[in-house]
Amino acid sequence: AQKITQTQPGMFVQEKEAVTLDCTYDTSDQSYGLFWYKQPSSGEMIFLIYQGSYDEQNATEGRYSLNFQKARKSANLVISASQLGDSAMYFCAMRGRAGTASKLTFGTGTRLQVTL
Amino acid sequence: ETGVTQTPRHLVMGMTNKKSLKCEQHLGHNAMYWYKQSAKKPLELMFVYNFKEQTENNSVPSRFSPECPNSSHLFLHLHTLQPEDSALYLCAVRAGGLEDTQYFGPGTRLTVL
C-alpha cells in the first residue's frame, strides 16, 4: 500500500518569496513516481511537476522544483518567487510502477496563501 | 487547457433524479479515471478504464454507474444519490510513457439535495 502525508494544512508566504511545501511518502515499490498538483478554487487539478524514483537529479519546471530525498522518503515542492496566482491547494501524489492502469494516491493537501 | 473537458461544471439534483456526468478527452490516451473529492478528504479513486474496459471499481456504491463507450468519452451515471454524495467529481486521463502522468478535467461540482 502507498501513503502520502502532507503535514501542513495551510501556509502563508509573501509575494516574491520562496516557499516549501512538505510531502513524505511510504511505499514498498522499488519503482514509483511522485507528482505535485495545484488546485485553484475553480476546482481543476493542474499537474505541476514529476519526479521518478530513479531520477538522480531533482525535477524542475520553471518556478517549481522538487526536493527529492529518497532515503528520507520526502518529495517537497519548492515554489520560488511566489505570485498571487499561486494561492491554491497543493496536492502531493504518488503512483507505483508505471504501466497499465497505474493509480495515484493523494495526500490531504496544503492550502497556500500568497500575501502582498 | 489540459485536453480533458467535463460537463456539466455544476449540477444540483434531488435524491430521486437520474443524471449523467460526461468526460471527453482530446489527448488520444487509453486510460481514464473517475475520482471523487469530498470536503476535507483526499481524492478517492472510483473507477478506472483501460482501453474501454473497466479495470478497477474501488468499492463504489451501485448508484454510481460508469460507462466508457469509446476511448474519448467517459460517463458517470447517477441515480438515487444521497446528500453525502455531494462532492467534486474529477475525470483524469493517463498519458502513459515514462512519467505516466494523469491529466485532469475541470471537474463537476455535484450537490445532492
Q: Which residue has the cell 496566482?
A: A85
pLDDT value, residue A50: 95
Q: Contact A50/B99, CB-based, under 8 Å?
A: yes
Q: Name the residue in chain A with its Cα closest to that of B40.
A: A108
- Alpha-helical runs (H) found in chain B: none
Whether A52 sits inside 8 A of B102 (CB atoms) is: no
Tens digit of pLDDT at every position of chain A (116 positions): 789 999 999 999 999 999 999 999 999 888 899 999 999 998 899 999 999 999 989 999 999 999 999 999 999 999 999 999 999 999 999 987 766 557 889 999 999 999 99
- A9 upstream amide cis, omega within 30 of 0: no
Indicate yes or no: CB of A44 within 8 angstroms of CB of B48: no
Q: Do A43 and B94 touch (CB under 8 A)?
A: no
Cell numbers representing residue B84 in the block: 453525502
* pLDDT for the residue A99: 64
Question: Do the beta carbons of residue A97 and residue A53 sit within 8 Å?
Answer: no
Residue type, A16: K
**Chain A residues touching residue B99 (CB < 8 angstroms):** 33, 50, 52, 98
Measured between beta carbons, the chain B residues lying within 8 angstroms of A102 are: 94, 100
